[in-house]
Structure 1
Amino acid sequence: MVRCLRLQGYENFLKYVDDLETAESVYILYTGTKLPDTGKSWCPDCVEADPFIEQGFEAAPEETQLIIVEVGDRSFWKDRNCPFRTNPITRLKVLPTLIKWNTEKRLEGDQLLKPELIDMLITEDD
């Protein structure tokens, strides 16, 4: 079973990855923060991609870790100076984005609506 962790915001993300030393496969999903009244992200693309991402990780190897990072509210994300956009490690352009940590491998936006791409990202060796 995939180990899943949820993080809120940029500071919590930085704090977690600072101490991240692991031999297992680590994937980070950047998504819009969930709204308290609906339990769904404010980002409609993230909501649309969720079932495809969940399905992709069902078949992932047991030692896989998925870190879900909620980037903040819509206005924070839309700011051109949003640290998730400007940080050279994350370089986010669009939500949702799924990356394999410590690699250049990533899927962005509507690529996450394609199960075969998600499967390829998760199962392909580095």
Structure 2
Amino acid sequence: MAESTPEAAASGGMVERITECDYAKVIEMADDLMGKGETVVLYFTGKVDEKTKKNWCSDCVKSSPIVEDFLKTTKFTKKIHVIEIPICKDSMKDKNNQWKINKDIMLKNVPTMILWKGSKDVRDKQMMKKDMLKMLLEEFIEK
């Protein structure tokens, strides 16, 4: 089930955060939003273990505060829908993982942010650099 939380950015556009891990639901949701002219970003991150409450992906742990700060403090010109997709460690090892074989995604590592149906992405260690996140969404950031 998708979990949605709107966050008002510093001013201007708003960021709507949605958490969903089901492949078909994410694709349907992203395509539906795009069909309405909305901007969609897919944010792949390691899944937090329910028992230990720890994320298996150390780069995700390091980049998370940077991503959170960027999304909360950036002034966007329009609403941005960020679909966060928690990925299990085992599924990252699966060569037939739907996220890996989808030609629009081609997921190789987490963390990764992809502008849906766009040509921009920020992957792996780039996620720890706010400038790289700005590059991904530069056309939607207030000047």
| Superposition TM-score, scaled by structure 2 size | 0.76
- Tell me what 2:86 maps to: 70
Name the amino acid aligned to 1:90: I
- Tell me what 1:11 maps to: 24
SS at match of 2:20: strand
How far 1:80 sits from its partner (Å)?
Answer: 1.4
The 1:36–1:105 alpha-carbon spacing in structure 2 relative to 1, beyond 3 Å, is: same
Q: Alpha carbon RMSD of aligned pairs, Å? A: 1.8
Task: Please identify which structure carries the higher strand content.
Answer: 2
Q: Which runs of 4+ in 1 moved over 3 A?
A: none
Counterpart-to-counterpart distance in 2, 1:60 and 1:80:
38
Counterpart-to-counterpart distance in 2, 1:82 and 1:29:
16
Residue 42, structure 1, aligned to residue 68, structure 2: no
Name the amino acid aligned to 2:28: K
- Name which structure has the greater RCO, CA cutoff 8 Å, separation 6+: 1
- When the two structures are aligned, how many residues end up with a matched partner? 124
The 1:46–1:100 alpha-carbon spacing in structure 2 relative to 1, beyond 3 Å, is: same
Question: Matches of residues 21-36 of structure 1 in structure 2 within 5 Å?
Answer: 21-36=35-50
Which stretches in structure 2 are left out of the alignment for 5+ residues? 1-7, 9-14
